[in-house]
Amino acid sequence: MVDLMRTVLQKVQVEQTLIDQYAREAAKIVGEDNVSVNRADLLATCRDYWPVNNVWMVEGAVPALPQLVVWPQNTSEVSRLLALANAKKIPVTPFGEGSGALGGVVPLKGGITMDLKRINKIRFIDHENLMVTVDCGMNGALYEEELNRAGYTGGHFPQSLRCSTVGGWLSCRAAGQFSTRYGKIEDMVVSLEAVLPDGTVFSGRSVPRTATGPRVDHLMLGSEGTLGIITSAALRIWPLPGKRHLASYTFERLEDGLEAIRLFMRAGTRPAVVRLYDAQETGNHFPELGDKRCALILIIEGSAKIVDAETSVIEDCVTGQGGLDEGAEHVEHWLEKRFNIGVASMLFQKGAVLDTIEVTTNWHNAHSTYLAMQQALLAVEGTMLASGHYSHVYPEGAALYVTMVGFPGDHKLAYYKNLWQAAMEAAITEGAAISHHHGVGLHRGLWMAEEHGSGMDVLRKIKAAFDPHGIMNPGKLGLEEVQEWQK
């Protein structure tokens, strides 16, 4: 049997006597059943969906291992556990459901992994003010189902809905498939409750906007576990839509589809779902449409009169750019398949490296970034496919989601590094931002200095103020020296 305890990235660990002491004291806080050094638990929480993990796993290795897993059940326990770790200077890595795509939960320096899944309730639905207060560890699909039973939607549907938590969404600035109407997760936040490494619990006020200085609770958005732990959030909710209109079109050229979207966003419409695929992805996802034209999938929802008015404006913009009406059927097909994530594992078993990279652009560089990234990826030896679609749009631009597949034989890791280097260089040269919603984790840290410029020093100062001992999720967000393997 393969021994999966070999760690590729871990250079240091915490002294065992300190861990033993911590385990005893943690058990007094959360109970013996919520503390574990069991191998199965260490393995279950040491990795996420970063494709590099799979390559190592097949070789019988993991990126790094925690030395202890704890499961707090409320904010007060998180506070006491963090204060204890801080006093002993033991690293803590927060863990939601491990669906991150960039190694964010890899416990590079060992220590404690804090699995937040047992803090998992909707605390309160505020019907009058259209808000919900929800715990960080609640599973995404269960969150949406419970809201639906009360007559609402949370409006947030990442493809990983069934395998991610609310806290993970907030920590990574996630985006759902219906983001054009409901916003990214950060647009839904009214306030957050969080715990700092020294155990301080703080929260923002759940009022519509404030002008009382910077919102300290919002600083936790996108912090990926490096500043503290988000324990709950007050989020916006919406009554279930009265009407839903499904529409699809095809365009001769990708840029015609982009122009149609730019125009209907400029006109003030906000369809929930807007997905524009290049010809290759059109052929893959909707074979009945062929692979010569570019498909646009739209869902417009809300109150019936508003939906009708938006549909009319959108139709004008789309047909004005040469869009051909392809009916509702393709959207129904997409709705059925939208959470299906099996293809990556199937291709991996056949020896492929498959990954996706999402970046965000303005309208002026939306198409050129697509062309530049595709060309750069196809130039990497071993690449079989580099395709793209736009799936989150704004008045000021659109997010581009690129998928690449290659068969590099035995050189999977070298190929993977080359792919990312090529894609990031192309995106940066075109003026795109390097991530729209997957976040940074471990892997994207390499390009953070280029992305932020002098802002990176500001980020490091914030980190030092929140976490002076550097215990929170060390090695992530590009805040520390970048891992050797990436160079």
| Interatomic CA distance for residues 364 and 355, integer angstroms | 26
Residue 162: CB minimum distance to ligand FAD, A: 10
Among 105, 188, 189, 373, binds ligand FAD (CB under 6 A): 105
Count of residues that bind ligand FAD according to CB under 6 A: 37
Residue 169 binds ligand FAD, judged by CB under 6 A: yes
x/- site string to ligand FAD, residues 329 to 348, per CB under 6 A?
Answer: ------------x-------
Residue 95: CB minimum distance to ligand FAD, A: 5
Torsion angle (degrees, nearest 10) of CA 303, 306, 312, 317 = -110
Residue placing its CB nearer to ligand FAD in the complex, 84 or 175: 175
Among 34, 79, 164, 180, binds ligand FAD (CB under 6 A): 164
Residue 178 binds ligand FAD, judged by CB under 6 A: no
Residue 118: CB minimum distance to ligand FAD, A: 12
CA distances from 468 to 63, 226, 227, 356, 478 (A): 26, 11, 10, 35, 17
Residue 264: CB minimum distance to ligand FAD, A: 22
Residue 303: CB minimum distance to ligand FAD, A: 26
Residue 168 binds ligand FAD, judged by CB under 6 A: yes
Residue 156: CB minimum distance to ligand FAD, A: 9
Residue 134: CB minimum distance to ligand FAD, A: 11
Residue placing its CB nearer to ligand FAD in the complex, 113 or 282: 113
Residue 225 binds ligand FAD, judged by CB under 6 A: yes
Residue 93 binds ligand FAD, judged by CB under 6 A: yes
Residue placing its CB nearer to ligand FAD in the complex, 341 or 379: 341
Residue 438 binds ligand FAD, judged by CB under 6 A: yes
Contact segment (CB under 6 A) with ligand FAD among 81-89, 330-338, 431-439, 453-461 equals 431-439
| Interatomic CA distance for residues 136 and 193, integer angstroms | 9
Q: Which residue is nearest to ligand FAD (CB)?
A: 168
Residue 417: CB minimum distance to ligand FAD, A: 20
Residue placing its CB nearer to ligand FAD in the complex, 93 or 383: 93
Can you give the chain as a three-state secondary structure string?
CCCCCEECCCCCCCCHHHHHHHHHHHHHHHCHHHEECCHHHHHHCCCCCCHHHHHHHHCCEECCCCCEEECCCCHHHHHHHHHHHHHHCCCEEEECCCCCCCCCCCCCCCCEEEECCCCCCEEEEECCCCEEEEECCCEHHHHHHHHHHCCEECCCCCCCHHHCEHHHHHHHCCCCCCHHHHCCHHHHEEEEEEECCCCCEEECCCCCCCCCCCCCHHHHCCCCCCCCEEEEEEEECEECCCEEEEEEEEECCHHHHHHHHHHHHHCCCCCCEEEEECHHHHHHHCHHHCCCCEEEEEEEEECHHHHHHHHHHHHHHHHHCCCEECCCHHHHHHHHHCCCCCHHHHHHHCCCEEEEEEEEEECCCHHHHHHHHHHHHHCCCCEEEEEEEEEEEECCEEEEEEEEEECCCCCHHHHHHHHHHHHHHHHHHHCCECCCCCCCCCHHHHHHHHHHCCHHHHHHHHHHHHCCCCCECCCCCCCCCCCHHHC
Residue 360 binds ligand FAD, judged by CB under 6 A: no
Residue 467 binds ligand FAD, judged by CB under 6 A: no
Residue 95 binds ligand FAD, judged by CB under 6 A: yes
Residue placing its CB nearer to ligand FAD in the complex, 58 or 379: 58
Residue placing its CB nearer to ligand FAD in the complex, 166 or 372: 166
Contact segment (CB under 6 A) with ligand FAD among 34-42, 126-134, 143-151, 225-233 equals 225-233
Torsion angle (degrees, nearest 10) of CA 183, 186, 187, 188 = 90
x/- site string to ligand FAD, residues 227 to 266, per CB under 6 A?
Answer: --xx------------------------------------
Residue 302: CB minimum distance to ligand FAD, A: 22
Q: Where on the chain is the footprint of ligand FAD (CB under 6 A)?
A: 48-49, 93-101, 104-105, 116, 136, 158-160, 164-165, 167-169, 171-172, 174-175, 224-225, 229-230, 341, 437-439, 473, 476
